[in-house]
């Protein structure tokens, strides 16, 4: 990406947001992130995840506290096209008469003049972005004629075309096939390597340790934040979710007779989160994860 | 031949054709945005809500367009305000606000001695257009057309994904009000042709017809304009020969065009869908 390894910063300090109907959605939320990072935003429905997103996108004015991006207030960061977002599939009107190319081009509007006539550089960026998510062959398709995974990739391409450095994804894997999910994760890691901050709002607890290196736990305020291994613990998750998670504990199960290990599963979605015997996280592919951690420690050296 | 040429013998009819086609095209362009933004009911509401503005403007002695524009905006803005500050849903609020304003306009009208004919305001009077109205309509309509077409990509973006407009620091709120303003102005300009009650048809039907025919926005604009122009010409012809309300004939022609499209449109028509011929993923 263009600005190389220039490190970006996202700082949320004492953020409180109240809506017109008096509902206090967030109270004194604070955390900070330095790029590159893939950070999961985890919490129950109504915990303020989308309010936090909306604050970072400048949609809501905080009652107190602040959001700063690279030391700038949100408004200034938006003017520099630093923030990009990928909406949830349900928020998009898929009948809309726009093509894949049109949607990706919308990411360039901020850089164009007021007539929004694409220049050569805009077309190059859009082509690059569509190729990067393997959607170039579909550029003339109407967006409703795509599969769930393809739809997601179109909006990722828009974020890429925009050149956003703080990228917000809302439930990126809902309705997405496994192959696309892995492709998206590879892309997110590339963006992280380029210094981007990627903030992922998700219910899919099981997928968090697979690709997120940071976690922000939220319930009307920030309960905990930091590296996944430190924050994504049973105690923290219990605090964030109260009793709403389904728990399967196999203390009395015959599993232990088979291999003598206790396993504990937390689930809020189709993919469960699994804690091993000492409360450490179980990864789908432990070796891959350790490889990632090793790579990351090298990157930071 | 005389069947087709007769209407063109009189200046009145020629003016009617010019103004009718022009106004229909302008409304057709706007209708594409309204249909995609889900603002059809908004068009209906604003068109009724302009009545008190028109009557008050007449009493005060300012151009009727200014009064209509102000009162259309008051309807839209107060709807938004009430929705945000109460537990009532938007469509309900809108229903209460616009019928209330319309009724207020009717009361004002019946208490105001004037030369105006209520049915001309309600259903239009394209054949009674004066020279000054003719040029006013062309002037205002051109302004609406130019602004809409120049800013069409931004307007389309706030219909499709207002969030994206916001994160790129585009003035999404301004664009929303601009679209609302264009809508109110277009209603004022169209009143002479189809009147308050039927103008919403011109602001909704061509866009929905076009949406059935295409998956590209620029093509949608063209199809909307073509269908609106066609219906207007056909409508005026029919009204001339059967001596019926011109505005109503135009709207009826559009409605028939919609029904035809609903059934026969190549990709999204009922026949294609029924046969399961719609190309899949």
With a cut of 0.90, is the ipTM above it?
no
Q: What is the distance between the alpha carbons of residues B158 and B164, in angstroms, rounded to a whole number?
A: 8
How many structural domains are present in chain B?
Answer: 1
Supply the CATH number for residue B110's domain: 1.10.3470.10
Supply the CATH number for residue A42's domain: 3.40.50.300
Domain for residue A20, yes or no? Answer: yes
* Residues from chain B contacting residue A98 (CB–CB below 8 Å): 156, 160, 216-217
Location of structure tokens 């609020």: B93
Select the residue of B166, B170, B211 nearest A97 (Cβ to Cβ). Answer: B211
What backbone torsions phi and psi does residue A70 show, to the nearest 5 degrees? 50, 40
* Residues from chain B contacting residue A109 (CB–CB below 8 Å): 153-154, 157, 165, 168, 170
Smallest Cα distance from A134 to chain B, Å: 16
Domain for residue A247, yes or no? Answer: no
Q: What is the distance between the alpha carbons of residues A248 and A239, in angstroms, rounded to a whole number?
A: 17
pLDDT of residue A4: 45
* Range(s) of the domain holding residue A217: 9-82+164-236
Average pLDDT over residues A117-140: 96
How many structural domains are present in chain A?
Answer: 1
Cα B67 → chain centroid: 18
Whole-number percent of chain A with pLDDT over 90? 58
Domain for residue A211, yes or no? Answer: yes
SS3 B35: helix
* Range(s) of the domain holding residue B131: 2-275
Instruction: Name beta bridge partners: A282.
Output: A274
Domain for residue B215, yes or no? Answer: yes
Q: Does the CA dihedral B261-B264-B269-B271 come out positive or negative?
A: positive
Q: H helices of A194-285, where?
A: 208-211, 228-231, 234-241, 255-259
**Mutate: best of A97, A117, A139, A166, partner B, most B CBs <10 A:** A97
Question: Do B31 and B53 touch, CB atoms closer than 8 A?
Answer: no
pLDDT tens, position by position, A163-193: 999 999 998 888 888 888 889 999 999 999 9
Smallest Cα distance from B37 to chain A, Å: 10
* Residues from chain A contacting residue B279 (CB–CB below 8 Å): 145
* Residues from chain B contacting residue A79 (CB–CB below 8 Å): 169
Which residues in chain B come in under a pLDDT of 70? Answer: 1, 276-281
Residue A259 pLDDT level (bands cut at 50, 70, 90): low
Average pLDDT over residues A115-124: 94
Q: What is the distance between the alpha carbons of residues A57 and A168, in angstroms, rounded to a whole number?
A: 9
Least confident window among A23-27, A227-231, B153-157, B275-279: B275-279
Cα A179 → chain centroid: 18
Domain for residue B281, yes or no? Answer: no
pLDDT tens, position by position, A72-112: 999 999 999 999 999 988 889 999 999 999 999 999 999 99
* Residues from chain A contacting residue B84 (CB–CB below 8 Å): 20
**In b/e form, how buried is each residue of A108-138, taking b as 16+ CB within 10 angstroms?**
bbbbbeeebebeeebeebbbebbebbebbeb
Select the residue of A20, A114, A142 nearest B85 (Cβ to Cβ). Answer: A20
Domain for residue B280, yes or no? Answer: no
Domain for residue A16, yes or no? Answer: yes
Chain B residues within 8 angstroms (CB to CB) of chain A: 36, 84-85, 150-151, 153-154, 156-157, 159-161, 163-170, 211, 214-217, 219-220, 279, 281
Domain for residue A186, yes or no? Answer: yes
Select the residue of B157, B165, B214 nearest A97 (Cβ to Cβ). Answer: B214
């Amino acid at each position: 990406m263009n600005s190389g390894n220039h490190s970006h910063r996202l700082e949320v300090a004492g953020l409180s947001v109240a809506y017109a109907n008096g509902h206090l959605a967030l109270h004194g939320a604070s955390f900070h992130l330095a790029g590159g990072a893939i950070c999961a935003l985890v919490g129950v429905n109504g915990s303020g995840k989308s309010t936090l997103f909306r604050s970072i996108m400048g949609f809501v004015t905080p009652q107190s506290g602040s959001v700063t991006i690279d030391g700038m207030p949100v408004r200034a960061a938006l003017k520099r096209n630093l923030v990009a977002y990928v909406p949830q599939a349900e928020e998009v009107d898929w009948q809309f008469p726009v093509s894949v190319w049109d949607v990706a081009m919308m990411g360039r509007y901020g850089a164009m003049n007021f007539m929004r006539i694409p220049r050569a550089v805009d077309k190059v960026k859009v082509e690059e972005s569509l190729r990067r998510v393997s959607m170039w062959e579909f550029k003339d398709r109407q967006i409703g004629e795509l599969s769930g995974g393809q739809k997601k990739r179109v909006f990722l391409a828009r974020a890429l075309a925009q050149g956003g450095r703080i990228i917000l994804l809302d439930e990126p894997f809902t309705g997405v096939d496994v192959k696309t999910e892995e492709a998206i994760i590879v892309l997110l890691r590339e963006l992280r390597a380029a210094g981007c901050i990627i903030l992922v709002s998700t219910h899919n607890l099981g997928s968090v340790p697979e690709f997120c290196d940071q976690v922000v736990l939220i319930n009307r305020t920030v309960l905990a934040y930091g590296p996944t291994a430190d924050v994504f613990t049973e105690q923290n998750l219990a605090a964030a979710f109260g009793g709403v998670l389904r728990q399967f504990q196999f203390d009395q199960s015959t599993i232990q007779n088979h291999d003598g290990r206790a396993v504990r599963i937390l689930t809020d979605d189709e993919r469960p989160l699994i804690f091993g015997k000492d409360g450490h996280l179980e990864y789908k592919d432990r070796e891959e994860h350790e490889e990632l951690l090793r790579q990351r420690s090298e990157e930071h050296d | 031949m005389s069947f087709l040429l007769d209407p063109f013998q009189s200046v009145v009819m020629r003016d009617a054709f010019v103004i009718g086609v022009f106004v229909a095209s302008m409304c057709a362009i706007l209708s594409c945005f309204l249909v995609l933004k889900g603002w059809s009911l908004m068009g209906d509401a604003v068109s009724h809500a302009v009545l008190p503005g028109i009557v008050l403007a007449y009493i005060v002695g300012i151009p009727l367009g200014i009064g209509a524009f102000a009162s259309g905006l008051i309807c839209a803005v107060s709807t938004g305000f009430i929705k945000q500050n109460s537990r009532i849903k938007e469509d309900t609020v809108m229903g209460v606000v616009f019928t209330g304003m319309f009724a207020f306009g009717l009361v004002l009208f019946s208490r105001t001695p004037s030369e105006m004919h209520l049915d001309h305001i309600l259903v239009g009077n394209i054949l009674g257009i004066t020279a000054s109205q003719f040029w006013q309509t062309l002037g205002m309509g051109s302004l609406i057309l130019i602004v809409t077409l120049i800013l069409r990509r931004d307007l389309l973006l706030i219909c499709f994904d207002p969030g994206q407009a916001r994160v790129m620091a585009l003035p999404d709120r301004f664009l929303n009000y601009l679209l609302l303003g264009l809508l109110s102005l277009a209603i004022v300009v169209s009143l002479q042709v189809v009147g308050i009650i039927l103008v919403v048809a011109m602001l909704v039907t061509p866009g929905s017809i076009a949406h059935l025919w295409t998956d590209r926005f620029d093509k949608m604009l063209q199809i909307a304009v073509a269908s609106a122009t066609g219906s207007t010409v056909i409508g005026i012809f029919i009204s001339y020969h059967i001596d019926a309300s011109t505005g109503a004939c135009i709207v009826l022609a559009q409605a028939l065009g919609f029904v035809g499209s609903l059934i026969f449109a190549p990709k999204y028509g009922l026949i294609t869908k029924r046969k399961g011929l719609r190309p899949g993923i």
